[in-house]
Amino acid sequence: DPDSGDNGRLLYSLVGGQTNEFDINENTGQIFTVSVAGKAGTFYLQVQAADQGTRRLTAQTTVNVTVDSSSSSNVVMLVLNQKISVVERKSVEVQRVLEEKLGWNVYVLNIYSKESDRNSRSSTDETQVDIIAFDEAHQEVPAEDVKRSLREQRAAIELGLQEVFSASVSAAVPEAPAAPAAPEPTAAIVLGVLLAATFIAFLAYVLLHLKRKRYPGKYGKQDLVKKVDVIEGIDNPWADDKNGSLKCLEKPEHMNN
């Protein structure tokens, strides 16, 4: 408003539309979200600007706000055999064809290519399109329902997109990667047996070690005999003579020489 003073001071307000999810700064006109958790799609707001003069003048306009729900679990990817630059230019027409064939409100959330290099992007005839669908109650349509409908209506969708791109179009829904196979039961059983055998062997070793510590005479007898055999005939005070009496502890005469 080019007027000065109160006649040029504008205040903004939301006067219609889905005002429960949004609010507006009355001085700057900045619109911000209040509660759109779990929602996605386009919201329509009726915004009014009013000056503060004696004869207050007003003007209204409609603001369309699109909420991106790319974090939703109901986002579905559609693969088109077209260059990304072409799909980006025709995104509105692509959305219209999908809505006509599926019977839901469809929103294109993202258009991208596997190739990040600009030259590769322009030469790759494959583009991924992320979409999300809403029913008449403005509720997200489950991803599996969207995929099933896309497969059922694939021929009609491709025919509609052919008119949009003026070329033959393939629209495919990628299959989810298969879950990793579970390990073979036999391998699991063998591993369990090996672990059990190892544990038993370790337990037996520990028990034997404890017994040796508790009864050292029983388990150390053979070692003692070996030591006696080694020194027998030299100075063995435990060696007996033929009559069963202890040998003399003195060295034999030939040892003194």
Q: Domain residue spans in the chain?
A: 6-67, 76-172
pLDDT of residue 213: 63
140, burial (CB in 10 Å: exposed 0-12, middle 13-18, buried 19+)? buried
Lowest mean pLDDT among 83-92, 167-176, 221-230: 221-230
Whole-prediction pTM value?
0.47
Element (DSSP H or E) covering residue 149: helix 143-152
Element (DSSP H or E) covering residue 228: helix 216-231
Alpha-carbon distance of 254 to 257, in angstroms, equals 5
Whether the Cβ atoms of residue 127 and residue 111 lie closer than 8 Å to each other: yes
CA dihedral 194, 197, 203, 209 (to 10 degrees): -100
For 39-94, how does the pLDDT look when each residue is reduced to its tens digit (9 = 90+)?
777 888 999 999 988 888 999 999 988 876 566 789 999 999 999 989 989 988 99
CA 211 to chain centre: 54
Alpha-carbon distance of 94 to 65, in angstroms, equals 20
Residue 142: CB atoms within 10 A of its CB come to 13
Average pLDDT, the chain: 77
> Does the pLDDT of residue 28 top 90, yes or no?
no
The SS3 assignment for 240 reads strand
pLDDT classification of 195: cutoffs 50, 70, 90: confident
CA 78 to chain centre: 21
Alpha-carbon distance of 9 to 27, in angstroms, equals 9
Which residue type occupies 238? W
Q: Which homologous superfamily is 6-67 in?
A: Cadherins (2.60.40.60)
The 8-class DSSP code of residue 105 comes to: E
Q: What is the CATH class of 76-172? A: alpha beta
pLDDT classification of 215: cutoffs 50, 70, 90: low
pLDDT of residue 81: 94
Mean per-residue pLDDT, 127-153: 92
| Main-chain dihedrals φ then ψ at residue 147, nearest 5 degrees | -60, -45
What DSSP string runs through 40-101?
-EEEEEEEEEEE-SSS--EEEEEEEEEEP-TTSTT-EEEEESS-HHHHHHTHHHHHHHHHHH
